């Protein structure tokens, strides 16, 4: 378990998670990281930090209303050639796993170069891979977020 008191500390955690992901055995499916926590707990802020550490220069915003955003990971990033796309999905507005089909979920999952960060995974449990990495965010105060789970 860790606590982040500002974006710089959250960015350090994002870097640690990415380093841990690169050290994991390579698999032939996408890597899915489920981000759980209440509204305002820091899920999107964490994904923004991940994108920044990866060298993505696009503006990263919550995909709440469009559900999915896909970013190209630049060559030479911390993840090397392991991942080429960062996919950020927000399942807050979904009611069950079957709704992930509209996002091309199965096609996203079969590409081992996809790194998928999924907000609100509990909304779509039935569609999630068994090996999803789970990270939970807790709003402690305006200044502090508690983060725990896989790789942290």
Cα 3 to Cα 122: distance, rounded to the nearest angstrom? 23
Q: Write the CB contacts of 65 (distance below 8 Å, at least 6 apart in sequence).
A: 93
Start-to-end C-alpha separation, the chain: 6
Cα 94 to Cα 111: distance, rounded to the nearest angstrom? 23
Q: Write the CB contacts of 12 (distance below 8 Å, at least 6 apart in sequence).
A: none
Residue 128: the pLDDT is 97
* pTM for this predicted structure: 0.93
Going 95 to 43 to 32 to 132, the CA torsion angle's sign is negative
Cα 96 to Cα 72: distance, rounded to the nearest angstrom? 28
In order of start, what are the domains of the chain with their CATH numbers? 2-149 (3.40.50.300)
**Per-residue confidence in pLDDT tens, the chain, 152 aa:** 899 999 999 999 999 999 999 999 989 999 999 999 999 899 999 999 999 999 999 999 888 878 999 999 999 999 988 999 999 999 999 999 999 999 999 999 999 999 999 999 999 999 999 999 999 999 999 989 999 997 87
Longest dimension (CA), the chain: 40
Which tokens in the block code for residue 62? Answer: 């919550």
Cα 67 to Cα 104: distance, rounded to the nearest angstrom? 12
Number of other residues whose CB lies within 10 A of the CB of residue 11: 18
- Which of helix, strand or coil describes residue 119? strand
């Amino acid at each position: 378990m860790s606590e982040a008191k500002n974006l710089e500390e959250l960015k350090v955690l994002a870097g640690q998670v990415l380093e841990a992901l690169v050290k994991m055995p390579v698999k032939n499916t996408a890597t899915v990281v489920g981000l759980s926590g209440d509204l305002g707990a820091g899920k999107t802020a964490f994904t923004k930090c991940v994108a920044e550490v990866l060298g993505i220069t696009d503006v990263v915003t919550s995909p709440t209303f469009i559900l999915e955003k896909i970013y190209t990971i630049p060559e030479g990033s911390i993840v090397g050639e392991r991942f080429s796309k960062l996919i950020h999905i927000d399942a807050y507005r979904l009611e069950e796993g079957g709704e992930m089909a509209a996002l091309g979920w199965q096609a996203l999952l079969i590409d081992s170069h996809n790194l998928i960060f999924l907000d609100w995974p509990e909304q779509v449990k039935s569609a999630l891979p068994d090996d999803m990495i789970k990270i939970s965010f807790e709003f402690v105060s305006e200044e502090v977020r508690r983060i725990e789970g896989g790789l942290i």
